[in-house]
Amino acid sequence: MHGTWSSLLLVPCLMLICLLLILSGMRLQFGCAILESASRRSTPSGPPGGSPVGQANVKTLNRFCPQCEGPLCKRKFLFIVATGRSGSTSLMNMVSLIDGVFLYGENYGALRHLGQMQERFFSTLAAQGHDAPLLAERLLLHSQDWLWDFLTPPSFLNDWKQSVSIRGFKEIRWDATAFQFVRRTCPCSRFIFNYRLDKDAQSQSAFYKTRNASPESLSIFTQQMRQLLEETELPFLELPLENFTLSSFNRLAHWLGAECRFTNITHSNANGTYAESESSARCA
């Protein structure tokens, strides 16, 4: 029997190792915009704000995941779900100004692949009898360990990110599998839903022009992302690009449990470029 369980665990472990090697090569580019702005800043702290989406979110301003219990709830994660050309890089940089919070940039939908691996394991495990729950819990714990370590801030940022208690990233490539991975593996998570109200302008961006995206298709895509977020039953807050104001960012900081207030708003990737903002925004 022990040989059977060892074989079952060997496959997902090997898959995780292979994915780690692949993603490690991509990691350096995740937070380039943040790293550049960090090198220009002396005192960091403070995130963005927005308007709560779920009715329950208003009640959880001072507790990150009050309904979460168990060993998987010891770590806090934050993910930006963006629809592309919606200000997500500026949002990521603003959130990472908060003491105790660090977000990387996009990772090309890595959670989708991890989620697919988990689902294959669970489907195999379903027929394995009474040991299945224990093996499933081990897989979830090891998956979370890997993700937490993978999201460790770069060492040369430790002068201002000495104790990061909330880690995550921003991404535009989400699907049901990725969301369910977060729900299973990181139950103490929150999402920021970032999109654009002006779908005409969004469709005319360089990114979407090459994809022949229409305002109607972007509206459908935005609604699909909102529905997938709701299905996770995890707290999320909506912050469209058109609501990027100091008051909105300060509300977002409060929603994340921070007591700081923003002095300015960064503007990354201005005018359709990938140029870093020169803004000296802080949350103090």
CA dist., res. 236 & res. 190, Å (int): 6
Supply 64's token pair: 């990150």
Q: Alpha helix (H) ranges present in the chain?
A: 2-27, 32-39, 88-95, 110-125, 132-150, 176-185, 199-203, 206-209, 215-232, 246-255
pTM of the model: 0.79
Average pLDDT score, the chain? 80
Of residues 228 and 60, the one with the higher pLDDT is 228
229 — pLDDT class (breaks 50, 70, 90): very high
Q: Which residues pair with 191 in a beta bridge?
A: 79, 236
pLDDT per residue as tens digits for the range 35-60: 333 333 322 222 233 333 333 333 33
pLDDT per residue as tens digits for the range 74-107: 999 999 999 999 999 999 999 999 999 999 999 9
∠61-169-84 over CA atoms, to 5°? Answer: 100
CA dist., res. 54 & res. 274, Å (int): 32
pLDDT per residue as tens digits for the range 187-196: 999 999 999 9
Q: Which of 3-12, 160-169, 201-210 has the lowest mean pLDDT?
A: 3-12
Q: Which residues make Cβ contacts (< 8 Å) with residue 86, sequence separation at least 6?
A: 194, 195, 196, 202, 240, 241
- The DSSP bridge pattern shows strands 76-82 and 166-171 to be parallel
